[in-house]
A and B are shown apart, each in its own frame.
Chain A
Amino acid sequence: MTYSSFFYSEILAVFRRKQDVVNALVFFLLVITLFPLGVSPSKEFLQPAAGGIIWCAVALAVLMSVEGMFKEDFNDGSLEQLVVSGLYLPILVLLKLLVQWVSVIIPLLVLTPILSQMLFINWEILWVLVLTLLIGSPALFLIGTIGAALTVSLRRGAVLMLLIILPFYLPVIIFSTGAIAAAQVGQPYNGQLAILAAISLITLTLSPIMAAVSIKASVN
C-alpha cells in the first residue's frame, strides 16, 4: 500500500457510501428547520440569528459525519492494517480526513445559498458565510477526528463523542458567527477570519498526531 493507493481507495469508498454524506446533509437541513419552527419564522429573528443557526447546524452535521469515519474500518480490521502498514499514520488520517472534508463541504456549499435565502441572508453576507465555512470547517473536522478515534471501539460512542468534542468547537463557532455578525453591521471581519485560519492551522498540526495516538490505543 502506498499513500496514493490509500487516497484512491478512500475516494472510492466515499462514492460507494453516498448515503452517509446525504445523511449528514439532511441532518443539517433538519437542524436549520428547527429554528424557524421552534422560535420564530419572522425576518426580525432569523436575519440576525442566521449565522449562528447555520454554524450550529454545521457543527452538529460535521460531528455526525466524522463520528462514523473509522467505525467500518475498525470493524472489518482494516484500521489495524493501516497501523501495521509501515506508513506514517498521521498522514493517512489526514488523507482520509481530506476526502471526508471535500465530500461533506462541497454539497454543504451548494446548499448554503438556498438556505441563506430561507434565513433571509443578503448576498454580500452570504460571501462571508461561505468564507467562514471554508476557513473554519477544517478545524471542526480535525478536532472531531480525535473524538472519532477515541470512541471507535465503543458500540454507542456517538453521544460520548458529542460530549467530549463539542466544547472544543466553541471558539470556531464564536469567531465565525462573530465574523458574520460584524459583516452584517458593516464592520471589518478580517480579524475573525485570521483567527479562524489560525485555529484551523493549529489543529492541522496537532490533531492528526493525537488521532494517530488514539487509533493505536484503540486498535490494541
Chain B
Amino acid sequence: MNWIWFHKLGSPKWFFQWANKWSKFAFFIGVLLLTIGVVWGLGFAPADYQQGNSFRIIYIHVPTAILAQSCYLGLGVAGIVSLVWRMKMAPVFIKAVAPLGAVMALIALISGAIWGKPTWGAWWVWDARLTSVLILFLLYMGVIAIQNSLDDMQLADKAVAVISVVGLINLPIIKYSVEWWNTLHQPATFTITAKPAMPMEMWLPLLLSTLGMYGFIAGVAMWRMQAEVLVREHRANWVKKEVLDNGI
C-alpha cells in the first residue's frame, strides 16, 4: 500500500492547502445529505407501528451517537500517531475534534432524553446506551479540560494524546461493563430499545443523515484544524505567503 498520502497529511503546509480545497466540498455535501436525510425521515418515512412519530428523533439521535464514537476513535488513533510518530498534525486533530465530539455526544444525550419521555415515560432511564454516551461525554470533557488547563503547549499535546490513547483502550471495557451492569439492573420492560429490523424506507434516510453528519463534521473539523495550524505555524514563510497573497 502507498503511504505517501499519510505522510503528506503530517505536514501542516500540505494539509492546509489540501483542506482549502476539500473542506467546503465535504461541508456542503454533508449539509446536503443531512438535509435530504432529515426531510425524508421527518416527512416521508412511515411512522413506527410501536412508537408512532416520536421515532423520527432517530434521524438526529443515531447519527450524532455514531459520530460521537467515531470522533473518539479518531482521537485515540491520533493519540497513538502523536505519541509514536510525533506527527505535527495529530495534536492539532485532537484539539480540533474533541469539542466537536463533545457536542455530538451532547446532542445524542439531549435527543435520547427527549425521546425517552414519550417512549419510556421518563426523561432519563439508566439504559446501557444512554449511560455509555453519558460516559463518553464525560471523557470528552476530560480531554477538553486538560487541553485548556495546561498552558505549556507541548505538555498539553502530550497529555491529551495520553488521555486519548488510554480512553481508546478503555472505551470497549467501559462499554462492555455498562452493558453488563445494565442487564443486571434493568427490568425487562425496557427492551423496546432493542432495535427491530428496520424497513428500507426508514433505514435509507438514516444512512443518508449519518453520512451527511460525517461530511458536516469533516468540513467543520478541517476549518478548526486550519485555524490551529495558523496559530502554531505563524512564523513559517508559507503561512505568511498564504495569508498575504491569497487574502483569504
Contacts and interface: CB of A to CB of B under 8 A. Distances in A.
B158 A217 contact: yes
A213 interface: yes
A146 B162 contact: yes
Interface stretch (A24-32, A60-68, A163-171): A163-171
A171 B162 contact: no
Interface stretch (B45-53, B62-70, B174-182): B174-182
Interface string A148-180: 001101100100100110111011001100100
Given A153-B152, A154-B150, A217-B158, A163 B184 contact: no
B82 to A, nearest CB: 11
Secondary structure of the A contact surface, majority rule:
helix
Given A167-B142, A167-B174, 19 more contacts: A146-B163, A150-B146, A150-B159, A153-B152, A157-B149, A160-B146, A163-B138, A164-B143, A166-B138, A167-B135, A167-B139, A170-B135, A170-B178, A171-B170, A206-B169, A213-B158, A213-B162, A214-B158, A217-B159
Interface of B: 83, 135, 138-139, 141-143, 145-146, 149-150, 152, 154-155, 158-159, 162-163, 165-167, 169-170, 173-174, 176-178, 180-181, 184
Contact of B177 (A164, A170, A181, A206): A170
A157 B142 CA distance: 12
Given A160-B146, A170-B178, A174-B177, A214 B169 contact: no
A178 B139 contact: no
B98 to A, nearest CB: 13
Contact of A164 (B146, B155, B176): B146
A115 interface: no
Given A150-B162, A164-B142, A213 B83 contact: yes
Contacts of A146: 162-163, 166
Secondary structure of the B contact surface, majority rule:
helix
B102 to A, nearest CB: 13
24 contacts: A146-B162, A146-B166, A150-B146, A150-B162, A151-B149, A153-B150, A160-B145, A160-B146, A160-B149, A163-B145, A167-B138, A167-B142, A167-B174, A168-B167, A171-B173, A174-B181, A175-B177, A178-B181, A181-B184, A202-B173, A210-B166, A214-B159, A218-B155, A220-B154
A153 B181 CA distance: 37
Nearest to A149: B162
A79 interface: no
A213 to B, nearest CB: 6
A199 interface: yes
A217 B159 CA distance: 8
A214 B145 CA distance: 16
Nearest to A206: B169
Nearest to A159: B145
A163 B141 contact: yes
A213 B158 CA distance: 8
A150 B154 contact: no
Given A146-B162, A210-B162, A217-B158, A163 B142 contact: yes
A217 B163 CA distance: 13
B30 to A, nearest CB: 30
B174 A171 contact: yes
Interface hub of A143, A154, A174 (most chain B Cβ within 10 A): A174
A150 B163 contact: yes
A156 B107 CA distance: 31
